[in-house]
Amino acid sequence: MQHSMPRTLFEKIWDDHVVDELGNGLCLIHIDRHFLHELSGSAALMNLDKAARKVRNRELTFATLDHVLETTPGRGMATRIPGGNDFLREMTARVVAHEIRFFDLDDPRQGIVHVIAPELGVVLPGMTFICGDSHTCTVGAVGAFAWGVGSSDSEHALATQVVIASRPKTMRVNLEGALRDGVTAKDVILALIGRYGVDGGSGYAVEFAGSVVDDMQMSGRFTLCNMAVEFGGRTGLIAPDETTFAYLKAGEFSPKGGAWDAAVSYWRMLPSDPNAVYDLELTLDCSTLDPQVTWGITPEQVGGLRDPVPVHARRTTSVGRASYARAIEYSGVTPNMPVLGLPIDGAFIGSCTNSRLDDLRAAAAILKGRKVASGVKAICTPGSTSVKRAAEAEGIDLIFVAAGFEWRESGCSLCASGSAGGESFAFGGRVIASTNRNFEDRMGTSVKAHLASPQTVAASAVLGRIADVRELEAAG
Ligand code: SF4
C-alpha cells in the first residue's frame, strides 16, 4: 500500500502487520516471531493442548529455559525454586511434542529470552515479536515492535499466528548530549524514569532517538528498551542503522546471502520519515547526568549518585505520598541522607537489562586487580551461554573470580528466584544490582535492592558501599 503521509517507525511496522480492523480500536496483528519460556510458555502450551489445537507456525516459534533454572556452576540441579521442576518438565515435554525449536539447558544457544532472541537473529528490524514476559520490549532495540503478552494471547498466537492488540500512541524520546565519564545507557534510562515517572510512557510505543542513541552500541540500546516497560511504555524501539545491521549479521537465524541484502534494503526504509509526527516528544539533556542509583522501591525513586534522598514525594497525590513513605521505611533511608556510601551486603551483575558481553567487559575493567570487599556476596550471571563463552574466551571470568565474584551459568538467576522462593540474598540485606526492578522482596525477603549500571555495581562491590566508579578510577 502507498502511504502519502509521513510515518513513524512504529506506524510503518504496525501498518505492515494489521490483518484486520476489529473496531473499538482493536486490530488483528500478525506475529512474525514468538518466543516461549518455561513460566508463561508452559501454561500457553498446556491450554493449547487442552483445546486440542496445534501450533500453526512452528518455524516462527522458539523456546528456551531461563526463569527458574539454577545458575550455580555446572547446574548440579535444574532448579531450586519450589514448583520449578513442574515448569521445566511441562515445558520440555510440550515443546518436544509440538516440535518447537528449543534451546534447552545444555544447548549453547540457551539464555535469557530477551538476550538470545536478537543474539540469534530471531528478532529482526520491522518484525512483530511477542513473548509472555513484560521485558519483551528489550528487543525493540533492533527496530521491531516487541511486547509482552499474557499466556492466553500466547496460546492464541500459537494457534493462529495473530493476536488482538490495540494500537499504542507514539512517543519519541530524544536523548541528546555527550555522556560524562562513567555514565551509561542504564543511567540514561533511570534518569528518564526519574524525571517522568514509572507511568511517563503509559499508553505509548516509545522510540528512543537522538545523538546518545546514535552513538550507542547495541548493548546500551537493549538496556534502554528493556526499561521502557519500567517507564510505563507498551514497548521501546530504536530505528535500525548500521550498528544494528552489524550486530545482527552473524545471527544464526538472520537472513543470509542475497536475502540479507534484500532485508537490509527493506530495513533502511524503516526509520521514521523526516516529517513524521509523534503524539508526544520528550527531550532529555544527558550531558549533565551523573551515574544514577535508585534509593526506593520503584525505578522512579532514583537520583544521581551524589544526590541525597529527596525530602518530598515526587507525586503530590495521597498514593504518591504513601508510596514515598513506604519507600523510605522499606529502604531504611531518611530524607536528605546521601545514598552514596551506604554499606552493601550483596552485588549482582546479570538480568536482561545488563548482562551482555559489553556489560561484563565494562565491569571487568573495574574489577581487574581489585577485590570484592569482605562480607559482600557478589554474583555475575551472563545473559546467555553464548555471552558466557565469549567472556571466558577473553578471560573475563578469571577477572571476576579473582576479584571474588561467583561466575555463574546463564539465566535470570536472582532477578527471578529472589521473589519466587528460590535462591535469594540474605534476609533484610542491602544489594546493588544491574537489574530493572527494585520492588520490595524482589531479590529476597526484605532485601533492599538499588538499581545501577554494571560499572557502579562493580565499584560498589569493591568498596563495600554504594560507590561512584569515578572514585576508584581517581584512586588508580
Ligand atoms: S532477567 Fe529478570 S527481568 Fe529479565 S526476564 Fe528474567 S526475571 Fe524477568
Residues 312 and 279 both lie in one domain: no
Whether residue 133 sits in one domain with residue 275: no
The protein residue with its alpha carbon nearest to ligand 1, atom 1, reads: 351
What pLDDT score does 4 carry? 75
Q: How far apart are the CA of 47 and the centre of ligand 1, in A?
A: 24
Burial 310-348 (b: 16+ CB within 10 A, else e): beebeeeeeeeeebbeebbebbebeeeeebbebebbbbb
pLDDT tens digit string along 267-287? 999 999 999 999 999 999 999
Where is pLDDT greater, at 470 or 4?
Answer: 470
CATH of the domain at 277: 3.40.1060.10
Q: Which of 112, 116, 137, 222 to mutate to test the pocket of ligand 1 (most atoms within 8 A of CB)?
A: 112
Same domain, yes or no: 27 and 145: yes
Nearest CA to ligand 1 atom 7: 416
Q: Is the pLDDT of residue 1 over 70?
A: no
Q: Is the CB of 442 under 6 A from ligand 1?
A: no
**How many whole angstroms from 116 Cα to the centroid of ligand 1?**
13
Ligand 1, from 64, 135, 229: best to mutate by most atoms within 8 Å of Cβ? Answer: 135
Of 56-65, 92-101, 175-184, 320-329, the one with minimum mean pLDDT is 320-329
Total count of domains within the chain: 3
Query: How close is the Cα of 437 to the center of ligand 1, in Å?
Result: 9
User: Lowest-confidence range among 22-31, 70-79, 290-299, 434-443?
Assistant: 70-79
Q: What is the mean pLDDT of residues 349-364?
A: 98
* Predicted confidence (pLDDT) per residue in 216-267, tens digit: 999 999 999 999 999 999 999 999 999 999 999 999 999 999 999 999 999 9
Residue 301 CB–ligand 1 contact under 6 Å: no
Residue 45: C-alpha distances to residues 55, 104, 148, 290 (Å): 9, 16, 16, 45
Between the CA of 263 and the centroid of ligand 1 the distance, in Å, is: 30
pLDDT, mean of residues 187-198: 97
Q: Are residues 173 and 112 in the same domain?
A: no
Quick one: 296 and 357 in the same domain? yes
Domain that holds residue 130: 9-167
In sequence order, what are the residues at sequence separation of 6 or more whose Cβ sits closer than 8 angstroms to the Cβ of residue 334? Answer: 309, 328
Q: What is the pLDDT of residue 319?
A: 76
In a shared domain, residues 284 and 307: no
pLDDT score at 239:
98
Q: Are residues 275 and 403 in the same domain?
A: no
Which of 111, 133, 167 is the last residue in one of the domains?
167
**Are residues 402 and 279 part of one domain?**
no
438 within a domain of the structure (yes/no) = yes
Looking at the fold, whether 36 and 81 belong to one and the same domain comes out as yes
135/165 Cα distance (integer angstroms)? 17
pLDDT tier at 2, thresholds 50, 70, 90? low
What confidence category does residue 78 fall into, taking pLDDT thresholds of 50, 70 and 90? confident
Residues 128 and 203 in one domain: no
At 345-354, the pLDDT tens digits run 999 999 999 9
Cell numbers 521445566 correspond to: 88
Mean pLDDT on 349-375? 98
pLDDT band (50, 70, 90) for residue 471 = confident
Ligand 1 lined by 351 (C-beta under 6 Å): yes
